[in-house]
């Protein structure tokens, strides 16, 4: 497989356990290059990863000294990628929830719509926790209010192809969007800035802990973070509309 010179896969990673190696190996079967950004992991995932794919062409490991969150890890990769001439990055989770078999399809969509954010619209299986799905609907409704319609079908699903310049510009305009708030906030800010959104279906697997699934979602902390996020974005939207009318 000839590595792309414009589109790459970015896998932000923090203590994902053994599943990281499988995720990256599956991604490398379908696309190259694949970059892993280790966000200060303290588990055994990097040793297992290097043993599995360390010699693979197109694989690259970028290490951050301390944990800064998913958004910070993605931004680290984006800045390096832009400097090296890449224009787009597909971001996928390290734990195997996202469908590696859809990587090439999403990259083709990106090539057909190069100015657009290609946003995954998740298709959940019966194993998905109902409580998480119900809570997800609140975020969907809030983002639709913030964007004035259903421009973005799902703000929390992180399987996306980003135009890198638009992504970096959106993140430069906020000091937030570095942790669990990254996926919804960066998409909203990109849409506000005029980036078109193309929604595309993709399966999403919830992997149980006994099968190696790892979740860093903290129910109280991260739901409070979501409330703060949407309060900020709604306030900003109201102020923007008032400013536009004045």
- Each residue's pLDDT tens digit in the chain (246 positions)? 789 999 999 999 999 999 999 999 999 999 999 999 999 999 999 999 999 999 899 999 999 999 999 999 999 999 999 999 999 999 999 999 999 999 999 999 999 999 999 999 999 887 777 766 776 788 899 999 999 988 999 999 999 999 999 999 999 999 999 988 899 999 999 999 999 999 999 999 876 555 555 555 565 666 677 788 889 999 988 887 777 776
Closest CA to 197 of 238, 245, 163: 163
| C-alpha dihedral (121, 126, 130, 135), degrees to nearest 10 | -10
228: left (phi over 0), alpha (psi -120 to 50) or beta: alpha
In the numeric block, which tokens belong to residue 221? 């902390």
7-245 is classed in which CATH architecture? Alpha-Beta Complex (3.90)
Whole-angstrom Cα distance, residue 223 to residue 42?
Answer: 25
Residue 123 near residue 176, CB atoms below 8 Å: no
């Amino acid at each position: 497989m000839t590595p792309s010179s414009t589109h790459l896969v970015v896998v932000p990673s923090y203590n994902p356990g053994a599943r990281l190696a499988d995720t990256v190996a599956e991604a490398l079967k379908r696309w190259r290059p694949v970059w892993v950004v280790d966000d200060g992991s303290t588990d055994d995932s990097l040793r297992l990863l290097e043993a599995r794919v360390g010699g693979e062409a197109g694989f690259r490991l970028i290490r951050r000294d301390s944990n800064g969150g998913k958004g910070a890890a993605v931004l680290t990769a984006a800045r390096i990628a832009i400097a090296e001439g890449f224009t787009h990055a597909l971001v996928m989770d390290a734990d195997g929830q996202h469908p590696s078999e859809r990587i090439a399809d999403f990259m083709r969509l990106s090539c057909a719509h190069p100015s657009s954010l290609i946003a995954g619209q998740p298709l959940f299986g019966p194993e998905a926790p109902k409580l998480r799905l119900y809570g997800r609907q609140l975020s969907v409704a809030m983002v639709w209010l913030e964007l004035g319609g259903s421009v973005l079908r799902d703000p929390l699903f992180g399987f996306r192809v980003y135009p890198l310049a638009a992504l970096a510009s959106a993140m430069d305009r906020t000091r937030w969007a570095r942790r669990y708030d990254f996926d919804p906030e960066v998409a909203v800010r990109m849409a506000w800035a005029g980036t078109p959104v193309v929604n595309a279906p993709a399966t999403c697997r919830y992997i149980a802990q006994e099968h190696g699934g790892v979740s860093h979602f903290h129910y109280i902390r991260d739901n409070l973070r979501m409330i703060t996020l949407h309060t900020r974005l709604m306030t900003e939207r109201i102020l923007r509309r008032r400013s536009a009318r004045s």
